[in-house]
Amino acid sequence: METNTKINRLLEDFEFINPELTEIIRSLREIVLEIAPKSKEKVMYGGIVFISNRMFCGIFLRKKYVTIEFDRGNEMNNAQKHLEGTGKYRRHLKIYKKEDIEIKKAKDYIIESFDFKN
């Protein structure tokens, strides 16, 4: 219950800052919870992270877009070159508008990240 309160408070803050991007965050959150309904949500690093056997993704509000970040993005199939980042492990999608969720295949990336076993 406490986690839900923190997440709701964070979403209310995001709504005040940027309602359009908050709608994207809400949509991505629904997708993650549809794919991984037993995952735990936690407010961390200024966003919402999702944990199953590990922290498999996080959603973050940026100034002009939303990122969905993947802990093992370097291992993910990125044939369509939607993932960005040059770090050792982490990669992210930049979502500027709601249509980008579909265009950049966010659901496929979330599924792939969730399906990693360790």
CA distance 73 to 6: 27
Tell me phi and psi for residue 53, to 5 degrees.
Answer: -80, -10
| DSSP SS3 for 50 | strand
CA distance 73 to 93: 10
* pTM, entire model: 0.92
The pLDDT tens digits along the chain (118 residues) read: 346 899 999 999 999 999 999 999 999 999 999 999 999 999 999 999 999 989 999 999 999 999 999 999 999 999 889 999 998 999 999 999 999 999 999 999 999 999 986 5
Tell me phi and psi for residue 50, to 5 degrees.
Answer: -120, 130
Go through the domains of the chain in sequence order and give each one's CATH number.
Answer: 2-115 (3.90.1150)
**Which tens digit of pLDDT belongs to each residue from 71-95?**
999 999 998 899 999 989 999 999 9
